[in-house]
Chains A and B, each alone.
Chain A
Amino acid sequence: MSSNNVASFNEARRVAIFGGTHGNEMSGVTLVNLWMMNSREEIQRKGVETQPFITNPKAVEKCSRYVDTDLNRAFTTENLSAPNGKDLPYEVQRAQEINRLFGPKGSSEAYDVIFDLHNTTSNMGCTLILESSKDHFNLQMMNYIKKAIAPDSCPVLLNEDPGLKYATARSVAKHSVGLEVGPQPQGVLRSNIFEAMRIILKHALDFIELFNEGVEFPPCTVDVFKVSERMDYPRDANGNIIAMVHPNLQDCDWEPLTPGDPMFQTFDGKTIPYEGAGAVYPTFINEAAYYEKQQAFVTTRRETLAANAIRKV
């Protein structure tokens, strides 16, 4: 598909913005509702059909993460091909519906780009999440957004390892981009977090518009944090957590964690240090929704990815 090292892609004409994939992550719910009621001009771009969409309306209604099962883990091949039935968990039915509307996943009819809006209780700032290191279109978009918001930063998290990645709602599109903005408690709407997410999306849509107009983006590199390992809380024999994220680690997303640094603090005050092989960059530190997924934080390693020049076909 590339000649002279320029990767060509079709115009990204169909773009979706998902909110409420987790019903209590309020920035996305609020933005998508806003764009569905009015203010559609904010997300209009020439040559782009932008569709805002609430993916999990029942969870939004209840202001809970999910009703039966996590929608953002439900887009497995097994679920998407399961025979349609009313006794399927609500989110599996929703996944099938979303796959019909915005996919089918892996086909040429799938939407070009899906942005999935999320919040986290972790101090991650505006994080962009990629599921592939080889999607040059996405990499160029990341580069564009980072330059547009400088000197502010937006870390890019790469979750590519098949053992660590999960079947997200956005994965039905050809190019999937996750936006994870925090810290914000579940069920709460913070004005600064809401505005930050809005600005990132604005730049992302500007990039798509420029690309569709025929702009060629020269080769670039993108610094990313690649997910390496999931760290659970220390637990007792009954599975109850026996320690909390240490005060020195709390809120220190994206800062290096070196072997020997404090990692957890037990409920009776003892420190448990990090004992990995080398320095890592932790993130998703103390995310509320991950207690049940056995995850206190994830470790990442820094990588620099090279993106080819891109231009539309």
Chain B
Amino acid sequence: MSQEWVLTPIIYVLGVGLYPPITYVLGEWVLIPITYVLGVGPDPIIYVLGEWVLIPITYVLGVGPDPTTYVLGVGPDPYHLCPRRVGPDPITYVLGVGPDPISYVLGVGPDPISYVLGVGLDPISYVLGVGPDPIIYVLGEWVLIPITYVLGVGPDPIIYVLGEWVLIPITYVLGVGPDPTTYVLGVGPDPYHLCPRRARQQRPTMERERVYLPALSRVAVCGGTHGNELSGVHVVRERLKEKQQRVDDDEEEDEDVVSVSNILTNPRAVQQCRRYTETDLNRCFTRATLSSAVSDRTPYEIARSQELNILLGPKGSPQAVDLVCDLHNTTANMGVCVIAYSDTDWICLHIFKYLQHHMSDVPVRYIHFDLPCREAYSLDSLGKHGFALEIGPQPHGVVRSNVYTYMKTGVELMLDWVRLFNSGTVFAGGLVEVYTMVSAIDYPRERQTHNIMAAIHPELQDQDFCLLRPNDPLFETFSGATLRYQGPEPLYAFFINECAYYEKGIALSLARRRSVEVPPVQMKSGLEHPGDPGTSEEEEEED
């Protein structure tokens, strides 16, 4: 990589990345090749790349292999550079910016540049100005950029390899130099907001053609599939009550736009406040179980699954309801999750995007169970489209008002989306993050009794959607020993310590995260009885 040199006054310099550290002297001019940028906060930060440099920093800038593309941070606080000293641990990243959004003004070289950079707990729109063409990045859009350095923020720094492309949602962006797409800066409470790296030959087109899909005229809102997951039970009961109230008050039901059924799917389990009476209803919707012969010795839930198949299906047929939304709770600290079998069902992905946009005070995530249609076993697979709305943490048998409210709001937002969709609204496309389930880990168990011998490690408990790296703590035995994650690749942990999964041999589940490009969608008029959902001919294949 050829290096160009630039003469600049230096206030501080920070070296991070593969290239050697940079020497600078406060107040003097020095020629430096700059290959990286750093994060700065109110606390002084120690950087080491081979050697230790102690410097207080209040902001940072990103630079790539082209040294004319960085901006030095200069702020209200003059810095004192300490003489470098060799320390025990070389550091290859730079840090953290504190909780308060900070404004940075950067000026470099002959063209002073103003940047406004928001950093901190609240995602902020950034304006990047570089050279003669200031660039505005809008929060939430995705940008594909080559990584020229990596910036670690928070307790676990992330190291990126220079030169590979990474697709990231913009929650913070810092661009410097004539080509603003030369680095990525991660700042804020979630430093793992980057997608897995993948090599790219060219920048993909971000414009996708609109996909036309049939209207969703029949929607089912289902609760009590597990009788002790109470938010869903009460949301369905309340919706039935409200519907009855409208009938009593002689109000009109606007069934023109969409017809909604509210169903308690496992009433016996609800009545007993148990997950199930004989077998888990939410595993009874495979084609094999739905078509099995029924006698008076058939478990209640199997008979019930066949009844529901008649009511909402038949599964796979043109008569099936358009959309099933199945309400669930978990004891795991998962926030709001939309769980579906597909990562190309644009209806589910758009509903998820809509919920995420409108539910700003709780994390909303999309979990993809990568199973082919013929193996789908849950209630939501009855509809042409379907998903589970899983909200936690909530103990089974308890209704927590905040969780109930999230669920009620989620259902209302989903139906708002359906009504808008059915009325012809065009929904813009974009990139969404999807967690695809890869595997699960069971508790360590005693050989003879099969009893568990350890609990989820206190550092992992409640940390759903954290990145679990090889050697991270996983379990703590009852005698206090730490058992660590031995998998080969870092994966995102979820369903951490879900009560109902003890009997299924699952202590936690693991997922890979990636972005999926969702095309714009619009209802296809004149097509009320669709063919395959989500795979119309207009759809483009991703590179």
Binding site for B on A (CB under 8 A): 30, 33-34, 39, 63-64, 121, 183-192, 194, 240, 244-247, 250, 265, 267-268, 286-289, 291-292
Within the complex, the shortest CB–CB distance from B211 to chain A, in Å, comes to 37
Is A267 a contact of B234 with CB atoms below 8 Å? yes
Most buried by A among B394, B397, B451, B461: B397
Q: Does B238 contact A (CB under 8 A)?
A: yes
How far is A33 from B500 in the complex, measured between Cα atoms in Å?
21
B400, A244: Cβ atoms under 8 Å? yes
- Chain A residues within 8 Å of B408, by CB: 267
Could you tell me the distance in whole angstroms from the C-beta of B321 to the nearest C-beta in chain A?
A: 25
Contact B395 A189 (CB under 8 A): no
Interface stretch, picked from B50-58, B434-442, B452-460, is B452-460
Chain B interface residues toward A at CB < 8 A: 234, 237-238, 241-242, 273-274, 331, 393-402, 404-405, 408, 451-452, 455-458, 461, 476, 478-479, 497, 499-500, 502-503
Residue contact B273 to A191, C-beta cutoff 8 Å = no
- Chain A residues whose C-beta falls within 8 Å of the C-beta of B476 in the assembled complex: 191
For the complex, what is the distance from the CA of A131 to the CA of B461, rounded to whole Å?
34
- Is the pair B457, A288 in contact by a Cβ cutoff of 8 Å? no
Contact assessment for B452 and A187 in the assembled complex, using a CB-CB cutoff below 8 Å: no
List of B residues within 8 angstroms of A287 by Cβ: 398
Task: Provide a sorted-by-A list of 17 A–B residue pairs whose CB atoms are within 8 angstroms.
Answer: A39-B478, A39-B479, A121-B395, A184-B395, A185-B398, A186-B396, A187-B331, A188-B395, A188-B497, A190-B497, A191-B458, A192-B461, A244-B234, A244-B400, A265-B401, A267-B241, A288-B398
Separation of A23 and B456 alpha carbons in the complex (Å): 20
| Pair A291/B402 contact, Cβ less than 8 Å | no
Q: Smallest CB–CB gap between B418 and chain A, Å?
A: 22
Given known contacts A185-B331, A268-B238, A191 and B398 CB-to-CB distance under 8 angstroms: no
Measured in the bound complex, the distance between the Cα atoms of B228 and A289 in whole Å is 11
**Measured CA separation A99–B394 after assembly (Å):** 36
With most chain A CB atoms within 10 A of its CB, the pick from B234, B238, B455 is B455
- Using CB atoms, name the residue of chain A closest to B458: A191
When chains A and B are docked, how far (Å) is the Cα of A245 from the Cα of B396? Answer: 15
Contact of A191 among B238, B394, B401, B456 (CB under 8 A): B456
Is there an interface contact between B396 and A185, defined as CB atoms closer than 8 Å? yes
Given that A185-B395, A186-B397, A240-B237 are known contacts, is A292 also in contact with B273, CB under 8 Å in the complex?
yes
Nearest residue, chain B, Cβ from A39: B479
Enumerate chain A residues within 8 angstroms of B456, measured Cβ to Cβ. Answer: 190-191
Q: Give the complex CA separation of A187 and B273 in angstroms.
A: 14
Which 6 residue pairs are nearest across A and B when measured between Cβ atoms?
Answer: A185-B395, A288-B397, A187-B499, A191-B455, A185-B331, A267-B238
Cross-chain contact B404 with A267 (CB below 8 angstroms): yes
The distance in angstroms between the C-alpha atoms of A90 and B479, with both chains bound, is 34
Instruction: Establish whether residues B396 and A187, one from each chain, have CB atoms under 8 Å apart when the complex forms.
Output: yes
Residues on B with C-beta less than 8 A from A291 are 273, 397-398
Give chain B nearest CB distance to A292 CB in angstroms: 7
Pick from B242, B274, B395, B502: contact of A268, CB under 8 Å: B242
In the complex, the answer to whether B273 meets A245 with C-beta atoms within 8 Å is no
Complex Cα gap A227–B274 (Å): 29
A38 to B150, CA, bound (A): 50
Bound together, the chains give a CA A30 to CA B449 distance in angstroms of: 13
Q: Is the CB–CB distance between A30 and B478 below 8 Å?
A: yes
Q: When the two chains form the complex, which single residue of A64, A192, A244 contacts B399, counting CB atoms closer than 8 Å?
A: A244
User: CB-CB < 8 A to B405: which residues of A?
Assistant: 247
Given contacts A267-B237, A286-B398, 11 further A-B contacts (CB under 8 A): A30-B455, A34-B478, A183-B395, A185-B331, A185-B395, A186-B395, A187-B396, A194-B478, A247-B401, A286-B400, A291-B398
Distance A190 CA – B452 CA, assembled complex (angstroms): 12
Contacts of A34 in B (CB 8 A): 478
Residue of B nearest to A267 (CB): B238
Nearest CB in chain A: distance from B460 CB, A: 9
Expressed in whole angstroms, the Cα–Cα distance for A64 and B404 within the complex equals 24
**A60 nearest CB across to chain B (Å):** 10
Judge whether A250 and B401 touch: CB under 8 Å. Answer: yes
Chain B hits for A267, CB < 8 A:
234, 237-238, 241, 404, 408
* Residues in chain A near residue B451, CB distance under 8 A: 33
Q: A42: nearest residue on chain B (CB-CB)?
A: B479
> Separation in Å of the B400 CB from the closest CB of chain A?
6
Closest chain A residue to B500 by CB distance? A187
> Across the interface, which residues of B come within 8 angstroms of A288, CB to CB?
395-398
Give min CB distance, B306 to chain A, whole Å: 27
Distance between Cα atoms of A33 and B273 in the complex (Å)? 27
Q: Give A289 to B241 CA distance when docked, in angstroms.
A: 26
Bound CA–CA A188/B495 (angstroms)? 12
Q: Is the CB of A190 within 8 A of B399?
A: no
A268–B405 alpha-carbon span in the complex (Å): 9
Task: Report the bound CA distance from A286 to B396 in whole Å.
Answer: 11
Tell me the bound Cα distance from A292 to B479 in angstroms. 37
Q: Determine how close the nearest CB of chain B comes to the CB of A248; give it in whole angstroms.
A: 9
Which residues of chain B come closer than 8 Å to A240, judged between CB atoms? Answer: 237
